[in-house]
């Protein structure tokens, strides 16, 4: 049976680890051909080795790319076109935690590095992928990884949160420009996802963070991968300029003044509060 992404050519940045790697393997299962891009060569090549072990021998390749450098992003797009003949999908997912600490002690160097890896990269990816997609004249899908940290406070450092908010804004604005060319531009805002970026090899230390959302399962890379496949597929052909939260209800839960979920006394028993009407 044909997959959701049958014969589409995709680039996935940050494909050497975490949700990027899971998305590479899922896109391959859905029939895509995938150029894995990452600054970490060992991990990127390991993703391709995993793909081969899963029987996707000729449909995955690796290119080393620093997504913050324009010449390298242009070369990444050219490598995908050279290897697979065209470009249908670009998932701009690579990222780091970036600068953290009090605002009074955040360095310009740390701030600029964070914005280079998280925002300049998305601008460069959109620029070069859209040029290629317009050349091939068969539409396309550009997806980025934002974060719930770009939507509300309290989820990331100052620099990280501001950078992810910029990704959401860029997604809306570029989507309107590219829509006439049938190139869709969307983003995913993950909640708390168990990847090396978050747990650094020790997931057991982050149980409290993994339990923050109302959904009882831990967020995993595969939860991002399946939504990414939908957003990049023709099933989502009328969806553009959108940022989709994939967070197990984390933001739906909101500020939880009365306590989250079952701890909320308003949810314990049915009734009506008539306010100051005098009715009991
Ligand atoms: N894990 C979470 O809870 C979470 C939540 C919201 C958003 N995100 C975002 O998801 C994306 C993927 O992160 P992850 O959690 O899978 O982390 P990860 O560390 O497992 O993977 C990130 C990958 O990006 C690569 N990378 C970093 N800088 C790069 C550069 N300059 N050029 C090319 N590649 C580079 C790394 O080598 C790594 O392979 C990031 O954009 C991150 O900000 C993560």
| pLDDT tens per residue, range 123-139 | 999 999 999 999 999 99
**Nearest partner of 267 among 279, 278, 259, 255, judged by Cα:** 259
Counting atoms of ligand 1 from 1, which one is nearest the CA of 19? 16
Structure tokens that stand for 246 in this block: 């994939």
Taking alpha carbons only, the member of 217, 192, 222, 220 closest to residue 206 is 192
- Residue whose Cα lies nearest atom 1 of ligand 1: it is 193
C-beta 96 within 6 A of ligand 1: yes
What number does the ligand 1 atom closest to the CA of 219 have? 3
C-beta of 68 in contact with ligand 1 (< 6 A): yes
Nearest to 121 by CA among 61, 78, 163: 163
3-class secondary structure, 148:
helix
Q: Please work out whether the CB of residue 110 comes within 6 Å of at least one atom of ligand 1.
A: no
Query: Over 90: is that where the pLDDT of 259 sits?
Result: no
Indicate if the pLDDT at residue 14 is higher than 90.
yes
Instruction: Set out the domains of the chain in order of their start, with CATH numbers.
Output: 9-252 (3.40.50.720)
Work out the pLDDT band at 13, boundaries 50, 70, 90. Answer: very high
Q: Which runs of E-coded beta strand occur in 84-150?
A: 89-92, 140-145
Mean pLDDT of 55-70: 97
CB-based contact 41:64 (threshold 8 Å): yes
For the Cβ of 98 lying below 6 angstroms from any atom of ligand 1, the answer is: no
| Average pLDDT over every residue of 162-184 | 98
Q: What is the arithmetic mean of pLDDT over 12-41? A: 98
* Residue 24 CB–ligand 1 contact under 6 Å: no
For ligand 1, whether the C-beta of 140 sits within 6 Å is no
pLDDT at site 113:
98
For the chain, the maximum distance between any two Cα atoms, rounded to a whole number of angstroms, is: 76
Is the pLDDT at 38 greater than 90? The verdict is yes
Determine the average pLDDT of the residues in 96-112: 98
**Active site (annotated) includes residue 160:** yes
What residue has token string 């242009």?
74
Residue 195 CB contacts under 8 Å (≥ 6 apart), including other chains: 17, 18, 19, 221
- Please tell me the predicted confidence (pLDDT) of residue 57: 85
Q: Tell me, what's the pLDDT at 261?
A: 81
Which residue in the block uniquely carries the two structure tokens 């090549």? 45
Q: How many CB atoms are closer than 10 A to CB 60?
A: 25
Give the integer Cα–Cα distance in Å for 236 and 270: 39
Mean per-residue pLDDT over the chain, rounded: 97
pLDDT at 260: 86
Q: What is the pLDDT of residue 280?
A: 86
Given 91, 113, 160, 274, which residue is catalytic?
Answer: 160
Question: Residue 15 Cα, ligand 1 centroid: separation in angstroms?
Answer: 9
Distance, CA 197 to ligand 1 centroid (Å)? Answer: 6
- pLDDT of residue 263 exceeding 90, the answer is no
- Per-residue pLDDT tens digits for 185-205: 999 999 999 999 999 999 999
Backbone phi, psi, residue 32, to 5°: -80, 165
Q: What CA–CA distance (Å, rounded) separates 38 from 64?
A: 5
Q: Looking at ligand 1, which atom is closest to the CA of residue 193?
A: 3
The contacts found for 165-169 with CB under 8 angstroms, 24 or more apart, are 166/115, 166/118, 166/119, 166/122, 167/118, 167/119, 167/122, 168/243
Percent share of the chain, pLDDT over 70: 100
Task: Look at residue 23 and tell me whether its pLDDT is greater than 90.
Answer: yes
Residue 204 region, left (φ>0) first, then alpha (ψ -120 to 50), else beta? alpha
Q: Which two tokens stand for residue 87?
A: 């470009």
Arithmetic mean of pLDDT, 93-111: 98
Determine the distance separating the centroid of ligand 1 and the alpha carbon of 233, expressed in angstroms: 22
**At how many degrees (to 10) do helices 70-84 and 121-136 cross?**
30
Query: According to the model, what pLDDT value does residue 204 have?
Result: 92
Does residue 18 have its Cβ closer than 6 Å to ligand 1?
Answer: yes
37: pLDDT strictly greater than 90:
yes
Q: Which residue has the tokens 């990127």?
A: 44
Q: Is 159 in the pocket of ligand 1 (CB under 6 A)?
A: no
Residue whose CB lies within 8 A of the most ligand 1 atoms, among 11, 13, 14, 246, for a mutation test = 14
Q: For the chain, what percent of residues have pLDDT higher than 90? A: 94
Check residue 262 and give its pLDDT. Answer: 80
């Amino acid at each position: 049976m044909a997959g959701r992404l049958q014969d589409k050519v995709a680039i996935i940045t940050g494909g050497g680890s975490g949700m990027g790697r899971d998305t590479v393997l899922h896109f391959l299962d859905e029939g895509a051909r995938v150029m894995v891009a990452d600054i970490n060569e060992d991990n990127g090549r390991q993703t391709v080795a995993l793909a081969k072990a899963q029987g996707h021998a000729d449909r995955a390749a690796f290119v080393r790319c620093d997504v913050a450098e324009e010449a390298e992003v242009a070369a990444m797009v050219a490598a995908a076109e050279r290897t697979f003949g065209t470009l249908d999908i670009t998932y701009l997912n690579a990222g780091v935690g970036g600068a953290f600490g009090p605002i009074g002690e955040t360095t310009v160097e740390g701030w600029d590095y964070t914005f280079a890896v998280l925002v300049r990269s998305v601008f460069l990816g959109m620029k070069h992928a859209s040029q290629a997609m317009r050349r091939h004249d068969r539409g396309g899908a550009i997806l980025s990884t934002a974060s719930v940290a770009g939507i509300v406070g309290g989820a990331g450092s100052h620099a990280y949160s501001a950078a992810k908010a910029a990704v959401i804004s860029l997604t809306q604005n570029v989507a309107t420009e590219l829509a006439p060319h049938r190139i869709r531009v969307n983003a995913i805002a993950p909640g708390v996802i168990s990847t090396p970026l978050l747990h650094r090899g020790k997931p057991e230390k982050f149980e409290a963070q993994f339990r923050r959302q109302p959904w009882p399962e831990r967020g995993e890379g595969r939860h991002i991968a399946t939504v990414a496949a939908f957003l990049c597929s023709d099933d989502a052909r009328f969806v553009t300029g959108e940022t989709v939260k994939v967070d197990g209800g984390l933001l739906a839960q909101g500020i939880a003044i009365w306590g989250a979920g079952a701890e909320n006394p308003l949810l314990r028993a049915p009734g009506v509060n008539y306010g100051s009407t005098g009715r009991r």
